[in-house]
Structure 1
Amino acid sequence: MPQEHTPLQVVDWSPADELRPVGDVVLVVVDIQGGGQNNPFVPSKPEQTFMPGREERNPRAVELVAAFRAKGVPVVFIQEVHKPSLVDIGRELDGNEGVHCVEGDPRTDLHPGLDPRPEEYLIRKRRYSAFFGTELDLVLRGYGAQTVVLIGGMTDVCIHYTAVDAHQLDYHFRTVTDLVVGSGQELHDAALRAMKYLQRDSLVSSRSVHDWLATLPAAPLDLTKESA
C-alpha cells in the first residue's frame, strides 16, 4: 500500500544566525519608498492596516546599503511606479490596495539615503514581483549573482512574490526578517513561513548579514572619484 504523503509544515521561521550565501551576492532593496514622510501610506480602504516598524527599518536599511557599498558588493534598487492614468496597474486594485505608487507623487520617491549611485541600477516595476516585466534577472546575471539578499516591503506582497520568482529562476534568496515589513503581523509571519518552505536557509537577521560583510575585504578605492 503506498505511503500517504504529508506536506512539510514550517513551524519555526526564526532567522538563521549565519547568512550562508552561495556564490556571488547582490542586495536587492525592494520598494523602500515614501520620500522620507513619516506616514506616507494612508489607508485607502477601512479594512486596510499597516504593520508598525517602517520608521525603525528605513534608517537601518540605509546603514545596510552603506555597508554593502563599503565592501564593493552590488546593490540594486527597486521602485514600484504607475502612470497617473493607471494604464499599467493591471489587477492590483482588485485586492485590498487602493491607488498607490503613482508617478510624480512624492510618496512614490525612494527613502532618503537610498538614492542609487550612477554605477548602480534603479529598476522600476509595474507589478509586485521585481522580476516581472523588468530587467532584474539580466542585471543579476551580469553581476554573476547566485544569492540575492532581500530587504524592503511589503513582506507578504512584493518581497514574497520577488522571492518566489528568484526561487523559480534558480537563485538562492535570503530575506532579512528584521528589515522587511508586512501589511500586518500575521501576514508578515505567514509570508516568512511560505518563503522558508521554498528554501530552508532563506530567513536571516540583519546581524548575520553584517557579520558576513565583516569577513570581506574593503572595496578598492576608486581613484577617479578621489581625484574628482
Structure 2
Amino acid sequence: MKKALLVIDYTHDFVATDGKLTCGEPGQALDSHIARLIEQFIAENELVVFANDLHEENDTYHPEAKLFPPHNIRGTTGRDLYGEVGETYAVYKEKVLWLDKTRYSAFAGTNLGILLKERNIEEIHLVGVCTDICILHTAVDAYNQGIPTVIHKNCVASFDAAGHDWALRHFEHTLGAKVI
C-alpha cells in the first residue's frame, strides 16, 4: 500500500515559545517523534509532504484575520520549520514535497489531491498542529474524498487541550480514521 505522511504547520509561529500563534510545549514535545516518522517514511520510499500555512502581510480579507493574530507571513521566520523537524527537512528536502496552503485544510485550494492520485497514494498519515483546526479540516477533506487516514496521536497537538481531545475522538468515531 502506498502511503503519504503529511506534516502540517510544524512551523516557528505555531510551535516555538515566541511563535505568533503557538501551541507551545504540547507542540514542542512532538518534535523528535515527527522527525523520526519523516525519516521512517523516507526510508520506506513513501511520500512526505510538508503542508504549511501561508499568509500575506496586512491581508485583511483572509477569514482568519478576524480570528487570529497575523502568523506564518510570507518571508518571515515564522514560516520556518521548527526544531528537529526543520533539520530533518534540510537533510531530505530533495526527497519531499513542500505545499503552501492558505486555508485550514491541506486540500483546500491546493493540488494535494492531484499529487496523491498521481502517486497512487492509498492512505495518508497526519502529523503536526493544530489537532482541532488544520489537522481536523485536512482529515475531513480526506474523508470526503474517500482517502483512508491515520492520525499519529503522539505527533499532533493544539493550544486548546479540550479541542485536541475532542478532535482525537472525532477522527476515530465520526471520520473512521485510525488513531495510533
Q: TM-score, normalised by structure 1?
A: 0.70
Specify which of 25, 36, 51 is matched with residue 3 of structure 2. Answer: 25
Given that 2:23 and 2:130 are in contact with CA atoms closer than 8 Å, whether structure 1 keeps it comes out as no
Q: Deviations over 1:48-74 (max 9, x none)?
A: x83632222112211110111111111
Specify which of 68, 76, 93 is matched with residue 65 of structure 2. Answer: 93
Given that 1:167 and 1:198 are in contact with CA atoms closer than 8 Å, whether structure 2 keeps it comes out as no
1:225 paired residue number: none
Comparing both chains, which one has the higher relative contact order based on Cα–Cα distances under 8 Å and sequence gaps of 6 or more? 1
Distance 1:33 1:51 in 2: 11
Distance 1:29 1:201 in 2: 17
Q: TM-score, normalised by structure 2?
A: 0.88
Aligned residues: 175
Distance 1:121 1:201 in 2: 23
Specify which of 97, 102, 114 is matched with residue 73 of structure 2. Answer: 102
Aligned sequence identity (%)? 25
What letter is aligned with 1:104?
G
What letter is aligned with 2:35?
V
Q: Deviations over 1:69-93 (max 9, x none)?
A: 1111111111111111326x62112
Greater CA radius of gyration, 1 or 2?
A: 1
2:178 paired residue number: 202
Q: Which moved more, 1:169-178 or 1:188-197?
A: 188-197
Distance 2:174 2:24 in 1: 24
What letter is aligned with 1:98?
P
Specify which of 68, 73, 77 is matched with residue 46 of structure 2. Answer: 73
What is the DSSP-based 3-state SS (H/G/I as helix, E as strand, rest coil) of the residue aligned with 2:25? coil
What letter is aligned with 1:90?
H
CA drift of 1:98 comes to 1.2
Pairwise CA RMSD = 2.2
Q: Deviations over 1:153-194 (max 9, x none)?
A: 100000000000000011001111110011221110011112
Distance 1:40 1:131 in 2: 28
What is the DSSP-based 3-state SS (H/G/I as helix, E as strand, rest coil) of the residue aligned with 1:160? helix
What is the DSSP-based 3-state SS (H/G/I as helix, E as strand, rest coil) of the residue aligned with 1:145? coil
1:155 paired residue number: 131
2:141 paired residue number: 165
Unpaired stretches in structure 1, ≥5 consecutive residues: 1-22, 44-48, 205-228
Q: Return closer, same or farther for 1:54/1:143 CA change in 2, 3 Å cut-off.
A: same
Given that 2:132 and 2:164 are in contact with CA atoms closer than 8 Å, whether structure 1 keeps it comes out as yes
Q: Is residue 2:17 matched to residue 1:39? A: yes
Unpaired stretches in structure 2, ≥5 consecutive residues: none
